[in-house]
Amino acid sequence: MRDSYHEALDSVVDDLVDMTGLVQAALRDATAALLGADLATAEEVISADARIDALHDELETRCFSLLARQAPVAGELRTVVAAMRMVADLARMGDLSAHIAKIARLRYPEHAVPEGLVPNFTLMARVADEMVATAARSLSERNAHDAGKLAESDEEMDELRKSQFRVLLSKDWPYTVEAAVDVALLGRYYERIADHAVLMASRVIYVVTGLLPEGENWPSA
């Protein structure tokens, strides 16, 4: 009985890692659609979000079942509780990627990102992608050390966001009000994806050590 329980728990974690891969693909494709004004890719990202949402529902149900039927304790309980929260983080990252794609679709055939901010968004997308990949790897390997690095990556994202605001609030802003709104929203979406990756990392640390990381660089779980 306990062997089958551990297999079920391991299967949940494996599927969480797979779900992270879907989110990472959605983020990459959404960025490609945004920076390339690619309508077809934007539509694919928006449609694919339904699969991420379905996985969220399935994994959440499996976690509730494990809690109800097996009454896990100690490390096993930490894993189930963390998995339930991580699946919510991943679903939200998928939603945010779809939001990015929707702005790309809305502005097509024009580019939503003004030319002068393309380098900034390219960097934001790269940092977010690396953070999601690190979260997936740390979860798969139960690696608290790698998970701990994500707080530093989040600082880089915050600096990129501040750089955006400096441009947005400049009296020399050369673009439209519509473009300013798009930039503000898009920057927030990438920032929130990074925040959810950090939350995932904090949950990995919790599973491995039994403690949530503390400090100003770690958001509240």
Quote the pTM value: 0.92
Q: What DSSP letter does each residue of 145-183 carry, written as one string?
A: HHHHTHHHHHHHHHHHHHHHHHHHT-TT--S-HHHHHHH
Give Cβ neighbours of residue 204 (< 8 Å, ≥ 6 apart): 82, 135, 138, 139, 142, 143, 144, 147
Checking if the pLDDT of 182 tops 90, the result is: yes
171 pLDDT band, cuts 50/70/90, is confident
Share of the chain above pLDDT 70, in %: 92
DSSP annotation of 28: H
Give Cβ neighbours of residue 53 (< 8 Å, ≥ 6 apart): 91, 94
Checking if the pLDDT of 216 tops 80, the result is: no
The gap between the terminal CA atoms of the chain, to the nearest Å, is 32
Average pLDDT, the chain: 90
Convert the pLDDT of each residue in 1-46 to its tens digit: 456 767 877 888 889 999 999 999 999 999 999 999 999 999 999 9
Of residues 2, 193, 161, 194, the one with CA closest to residue 95: 193
What pLDDT was estimated at residue 217?
A: 65
Output the six-digit token pair for 23.
């989110």
Domains annotated for the chain, with CATH where assigned, are 2-209 (1.20.58.220)
Convert the pLDDT of each residue in 102-142 to its tens digit: 999 999 999 999 999 999 999 999 999 999 999 999 998 98
Checking if the pLDDT of 181 tops 70, the result is: yes
